[in-house]
Structure 1
Amino acid sequence: IYYGSEFGIVGKKAEGSSDVDGPLRPAFSLPAAKKGLSTTAYPSLAHLIKKLSAIREAFPALKRGDYCEVVLRNEYYALGRKLGDQVVVVVVNVDDKDATVTIPQHVFGASSRRVMDVLNNSEVFEAAGHGHGQHHGHGGITVTVQPAWGRILAPLEQVPLDGDASPTDNSLTASFHTMTVTPPEYTPPPAAPPSQPPTRATKPQQQQQQQAQVPPPMPAPPQPQVAPAPPPPRQPHAPDVPAWARDGFFYHIYPL
C-alpha cells in the first residue's frame, strides 16, 4: 500500500502545469482525518485495507514466501507465494472489463483441487472436472475477475476456519472470514475528443508549401585527388601449413 492510498489519493500528475508533481502530495485535512476515513471520496478503502491486512497476517506465505510469476498479460496478472506447504495466488485485473484467468492446478499442489477466494466472501472454485459454471476450469482453476479488482486464492484445506493460519496470535486475523468487501464500481476514463480531419489547401497554397519545403540544390563538393596505390610488397614463399598449426604460431620459410 503506497502512502496516501488509505485516503484515496489518486496520485495523478497535473500535465501542463508548472507544478506537475503537486497533486501527488495534496494538502492533508486534519479535521477530516479526525472524523475518520469515511469523509474521503472512497469510504470503503479503510474496510478493504483492514481485510487485506488480516489476510496477510493469516497467511505467512504472503509475507515471507518465495515468489513465482504464474500468469502475465497486459490486462491481468497472477503471482504465487509459497512458504513450506502453504501456497497463495493473487490475481489482479487492471483492465476496464472482466478478465477470465486460468491458474494451472499444479501451482496449488497435486492434491489441491478446490481453492477459496479469501478476499471475496470466501467463494470456492474447483479444478477441471469438478463444479459448475465459472467454477469449472479447463486445464486448471478458472476465475473471473472484475475490472480494477482482484482475487486471493488459497487451497481450501489450508484456509483456517477461525481466520488465523499464523503461528502467532493476532487480533487482526480473528475474523477476516466475516469481513465483507464490495468491488468498487469501475468508471472508465472519458473518451478522447474526435480528431478533426485536416483541411485541404488550395492549389496555390500547395505550390507555395512545396516550394518552401524543397531546399535549393547544393553545389557539388570538389572531388579529392586520389594517389595511386603502391604496388603490393613481395610475399615470401611459405609451404602448406598443416592443420594442427593453422590456429597457432608458425614461421614463414624463406627460400635460400
Structure 2
Amino acid sequence: MTMQATAYARYPSLADRTVLVTGGASGIGAGFVEHFARQGARVAFLDVDADAAQALLEGLADVVHRPLFVACDLTDLEALGQAVARVRAAIGPIAVLLSNAANDLRHEFAQTTPADFDANVAVNLRHHYFAIQAVREDMQALGGGSVICLGSISWMIKNGGYPMYTMAKAAIHGLVAGLARELGRQYIRINCLVPGWVITEKQRRLWLDAEGEAEIARSQCLPGHVMADDLARAALFLAADDSRMITARDFIVDGGWV
C-alpha cells in the first residue's frame, strides 16, 4: 500500500530569501533548486554543466524568482569566490548555503596517486570549507543564516569501491561539528543532511540494477526509492526559521538503512 498524494509544507520565512546551491544543475542539487524556487526564494546555483542548468531553468519558468545559474568549477577556489560575489551582487546577501556538489566516481585504493587524492578532496571536501567561509559575513550581517552540508551514509555502512569519496564524506560531518560553535555565536546554523541511496538519473544509468534493487529492499526499513525530492523537503525545513534552534546535527534521509 502506498500513501495518498499529500500537500507538503510551505515555509513563509523562505520567501525572498537568498539561497545558494553548489552542484545545482542535476541530481539532488537540481531538486534543491526547484523546491527552494517554488517556495519563493531567490535561488542561485553553481555548476560546470551548462546544458543541464539550462534544462532545469526551462522547467522553472513559472516561479516568482527565476533562479540564477553561475558556471563555476568549484575546485578553483578563486572562481568560487568570484561566483559567490556575483550571486551577492545579483540577488542579495546569501542567507542559506546548500553545499552539495560531489562526485562519487569509483576508484581503487591500490591505484590511487597523490594527484588523484588531491583532486578528489578538491571535488568532494575542500569547496565546502571555502564556500562557508565566503558566505559567513553575509549571514552575520543578516543576523543569522543556515548552512546545510551534504554528507552520506556510504562511510557509515562501510561501502567499498570509492575510499576517497567515503573519506571526504566522513570529514564533512567533522567540519559541521567543528564549525557549529563558532558560527552559532553569530546565529548561523550548520547541519549535515545525509542521503541514503538516492535514485537520481545518474544512479539509474550507472549503478541501479536488479542486485541494487534487492539491496535496497533488504536494507531499507521503508520500501521504495529515496528520491531527490525527499532530500529537498528536509533541506527546506533546515533552511527555514522553523529549525532556528537546530545546529550541529546529522539529518539522515535513507529510508531507515542506517
Relative to the length of structure 1, the TM-score reads: 0.25
For the pair shown, the structure with the greater C-alpha radius of gyration is 1
Q: Which has the higher helix share?
A: 2
Q: Which has the higher strand share?
A: 1
